[in-house]
Structure 1
Amino acid sequence: MSPSPRRWRRRLAVAALLSALAGVLLVNAAARPPRAYPDSPQFHDGAFHNAVTPKGPQGAGDVLKLWWKFFFGKRPTTRPDTQLPVQPLTRADLEAAPDHHLWRLGHSTVLMKLDGGFWITDPVFSERASPVQFAGPKRFHAPAIALDELPPLRGVILSHDHYDHLDRASIQALATRAQVFLTPLGVGDTLVRWGVAPERVIQLDWWQSTQVDGLHFTATPAQHFSGRTPFRKNPTLWASWVVQTPALKLFFSGDTGYFEGFKAIGQRLGPFDVTLMENGAYDPLWSGVHMLPEQSVQAHQDLRGGWMLPIHNSTFDLAFHDWQAPMETVLSLAEQRGVSLSTPRMGEPVNLLAMRPFERWWKPLVRTHERDAAAVGNTLKPSAGESAR
């Protein structure tokens, strides 16, 4: 008797996982020993640390269960079954756009035109957020503009070194096309190893600042972790960022759990006109390093934010919630708390000086998912994150 299609899919998933791990091992074998940062209060015992140890899976048993569920226990609704609405962009569109506009390109990749220069956050243009491109989380949609179509960039802003935020192929393509790379401590060393000229790299610790063309950038605290292999724990720092122009002040969260640091940032550097807030790939099991939607809204309020623009969603399947749940949940919470929320489609222009809400573009896409979920019935148990909602 031949194996069922489901068993074949499982076997292929296991083979893909093993292949991906083999790729990680090869990358790790070729990497250099980690550097020490003795002047950083966040660095001690050979690694970077959060101020408070965040909540996460406990022990090897939890980790194994998590990986098993990730590969074999997901519902089909964690991915869209139709094309997401993406507004294509051209270089001419971007160059003709007025100053102080923003475009979501996918996940946490945001392009901003500020005082005549283009800046991009966590550029990931590869097909997969993975150490290898034959396995790992695959994009739901193509970027709104191809990487080689981007105009010359004044700078790149990086939050940390995880694969869904730091993409080697994208960085190497931008190595000579971006004039400056702003990174937390250690991430810049990785860029230099990849071929970025050292004079283009500015590495900052938490609360350190730099100015570029009259724009003020501050690396601010976050509660997360780092590492691109299983063998090095927190070799580089993670950060959120404050970007201030003469006309407005922005906050970019990067990846983070909810923590008291948001209030400190709001008191020291707020209020903010717009916050680009992580909202997606969450679960109660790892809420210490990725905020739940209600925490994302609370963090925005702690920061004394004006408009909130959710990011870190609608591009990769990195958790157990339905793909549209981050947007639907945060919208409901924002309405309850009186928070101004902006939810543009990928590629849709956002005027940072005249923010507005956008249509619920994901609504027409979930009907087929709802039918699928009804057909599945009770054969799959909901995740802890879904039970909490």
Structure 2
Amino acid sequence: MSAGLFSSCVMQSEKFQNTEINYETGMGKIVDILNAYMRAERAAPVPEAPLPLRPITRELLASNESQPTVYRLGHSSILIQLDGEYVLTDPVFSERASPVQWMGPRRFHPVPLSLEELPPLKAVIISHDHYDHLDKASVRILDEKVEHFIVPTGVGRYLRDWGVATDKVNELAWWQSISIGSLQFTATPAQHFSGRGLTDRDKTLWASWVIVGHDARIFFSGDSGYFAGFQKIGERFGPFDLTLIETGAYNDLWSEVHMKPEESVQAHLDLRGRAMIPIHNSTFDLALHDWFEPLERAQVAAEVQGVTLLTPVIGAPVNVRAPVPTQAWWREIIEEGQGELAAGL
């Protein structure tokens, strides 16, 4: 299977590949990562105070129905209101991003609305099969609310195994599109990897997504290292009214598959985006940086590059076509934590 060209199914002996790199995690890299975790000394791996949260009510949703709107639910879960329909990306409502709920990364904040309170969904988009993006418990509860699941090639088998009807599952390879009503969804390249266990590495595809409606054009990055594909996507589908770009869980040891914040801002520029929301941060501790570092570094890089960066409080609505400036809300939490530390000395 050649890089960048994928069949509609994955044979047991085949693996998907990136277009620019061959990302491997051999024993040497695993040892380096384990050593880095053992040596790590962080001032703030998790927030020392509750994160600000805007509960999402039915009244709030109804008040924004006439305009394209997005709501950060946490990590890479985004509720998108477009052309009068609702679309949800990478829904993870579980307490932990883990194969089991008795251990693993625990969320920093509640979800601003429950699965039961979600409105009917025209589509759920999945970027890849990692546990912080594809959550079995969430999918099974969501199923009755969702008309269509749109996933990269190979990921559909998980959904079918979990009870989702085959005719609701749409699997796309890179550059393939599906239209549902006035909305068009296109799977676009990303530089990442896949696998939920020890034996299924890269057996399913990973993707970013282009979401186009009458009212707006939105890009959702999923997980990715920085690569030339962003510019190609921008040339083909841009400009975008809003980009939702992975900004978090990065490290030098795995920089090929997770962008650093400065690269995330550059990806936004490559995509020809008008405004950017950094996602994949502020919900789970998945790397070795402080919890607030992705937002802080993205803010600085955006100011240098002249990028309109939006950092809404979790749950707060963002008008895609006419966003209002947001505040650096994490700085108040940092200052509060530093004040408590000083008081205890």
Q: Same fold (TM over 0.5)?
A: yes
State the alpha-carbon separation in 2 of the partners of residues 88 and 40 from structure 1: 40
1:93 equivalent among 60, 67, 71: 60
Unaligned runs of 5+ residues in structure 1 are: 1-36, 376-389
1:363 matches 2:326:
no
State the alpha-carbon separation in 1 of the partners of residues 226 and 342 from structure 2: 34
State the alpha-carbon separation in 2 of the partners of residues 100 and 193 from structure 1: 34
Which residue identity lines up with residue 100 of structure 1 in the other structure? P
Which residue identity lines up with residue 334 of structure 1 in the other structure? A
State the alpha-carbon separation in 2 of the partners of residues 76 and 42 from structure 1: 43
Q: Is this contact kept in 2: 1:343–1:360, CA < 8 A?
A: yes
Which residue identity lines up with residue 268 of structure 1 in the other structure? R
Match of 2:230 in 1: 262
1:170 equivalent among 132, 138, 162: 138
State the alpha-carbon separation in 2 of the partners of residues 373 and 55 from structure 1: 41
State the alpha-carbon separation in 2 of the partners of residues 226 and 61 from structure 1: 20
Query: In 2 relative to 1, CA 68–129 (structure 1 residues): closer, same or farther, beyond 3 Å?
Result: farther
Which residue identity lines up with residue 51 of structure 2 in the other structure? L
1:310 equivalent among 278, 297, 306: 278
State the shift of 1:338 in Å.
Answer: 0.6
State the alpha-carbon separation in 1 of the partners of residues 222 and 244 from structure 2: 8
Give the 3-state SS of the residue equivalent to 1:281 in structure 2.
Answer: coil
2:245 equivalent among 277, 300, 306: 277
State the alpha-carbon separation in 1 of the partners of residues 96 and 164 from structure 2: 22
State the shift of 1:273 in Å.
Answer: 1.1
Give the 3-state SS of the residue equivalent to 1:147 in structure 2.
Answer: coil
Which residue identity lines up with residue 278 of structure 1 in the other structure? E
Match of 2:164 in 1: 196
Q: Is this contact kept in 1: 2:33–2:253, CA < 8 A?
A: no
Give the 3-state SS of the residue equivalent to 1:138 in structure 2.
Answer: coil
Normalized per residue, the structure richer in helix is 1
Q: Is this contact kept in 1: 2:10–2:154, CA < 8 A?
A: no
CA RMSD of aligned residues (A): 2.2
Match of 1:80 in 2: 47
Give the 3-state SS of the residue equivalent to 1:173 in structure 2.
Answer: helix
Deviations 1:19-69 (CA, angstroms, capped at 9, x unpaired): xxxxxxxxxxxxxxxxxx973599895111111225665x31331342354
Instruction: Answer with 248-257 or 46-55: which moved more.
Output: 46-55
1:103 equivalent among 43, 46, 71: 71
Match of 1:142 in 2: 110
Q: Is this contact kept in 1: 2:6–2:174, CA < 8 A?
A: no
Give the 3-state SS of the residue equivalent to 2:185 in structure 1.
Answer: strand
State the shift of 1:269 in Å.
Answer: 1.1
Give the 3-state SS of the residue equivalent to 2:210 in structure 1.
Answer: strand
Q: Is this contact kept in 1: 2:312–2:326, CA < 8 A?
A: yes
State the alpha-carbon separation in 1 of the partners of residues 62 and 122 from structure 2: 13
State the shift of 1:72 in Å.
Answer: 6.9
Instruction: Answer with 67-76 or 197-206: which moved more.
Output: 67-76
Query: In 2 relative to 1, CA 325–56 (structure 1 residues): closer, same or farther, beyond 3 Å?
Result: farther
1:127 matches 2:87:
no
Q: Is this contact kept in 1: 2:130–2:195, CA < 8 A?
A: yes
Q: Is this contact kept in 1: 2:17–2:202, CA < 8 A?
A: yes
Query: In 2 relative to 1, CA 287–371 (structure 1 residues): closer, same or farther, beyond 3 Å?
Result: farther
State the alpha-carbon separation in 2 of the partners of residues 40 and 180 from structure 1: 18
Q: Is this contact kept in 1: 2:8–2:172, CA < 8 A?
A: no
Which residue identity lines up with residue 257 of structure 1 in the other structure? G
Deviations 1:75-131 (CA, angstroms, capped at 9, x unpaired): 251111110001111233223422311100000000011111111000000000000
Q: Is this contact kept in 2: 1:56–1:287, CA < 8 A?
A: no
Give the 3-state SS of the residue equivalent to 1:133 in structure 2.
Answer: coil
Matches within 5 A, 1:51-90: 51-53=19-21, 59-70=26-37, 73-90=40-57
* Number of aligned residues: 338
1:210 matches 2:178:
yes
State the shift of 1:356 in Å.
Answer: 2.5
State the alpha-carbon separation in 2 of the partners of residues 38 and 321 from structure 1: 35
Match of 1:244 in 2: 212
Q: Is this contact kept in 1: 2:185–2:211, CA < 8 A?
A: yes
State the alpha-carbon separation in 2 of the partners of residues 250 and 334 from structure 1: 19
Q: Is this contact kept in 2: 1:279–1:296, CA < 8 A?
A: yes
Q: Is this contact kept in 1: 2:78–2:89, CA < 8 A?
A: yes
State the alpha-carbon separation in 2 of the partners of residues 256 and 43 from structure 1: 24
Percent identity reads: 50
Which residue identity lines up with residue 178 of structure 1 in the other structure? V
Instruction: Answer with 316-325 or 65-74: which moved more.
Output: 65-74
State the alpha-carbon separation in 1 of the partners of residues 320 and 143 from structure 2: 28
Unaligned runs of 5+ residues in structure 2 are: none
State the shift of 1:162 in Å.
Answer: 0.4
Give the 3-state SS of the residue equivalent to 1:183 in structure 2.
Answer: strand
Q: Is this contact kept in 2: 1:42–1:50, CA < 8 A?
A: no
Query: In 2 relative to 1, CA 54–341 (structure 1 residues): closer, same or farther, beyond 3 Å?
Result: farther
Q: Is this contact kept in 2: 1:206–1:239, CA < 8 A?
A: yes
Q: Is this contact kept in 1: 2:6–2:16, CA < 8 A?
A: no
Query: In 2 relative to 1, CA 374–203 (structure 1 residues): closer, same or farther, beyond 3 Å?
Result: farther
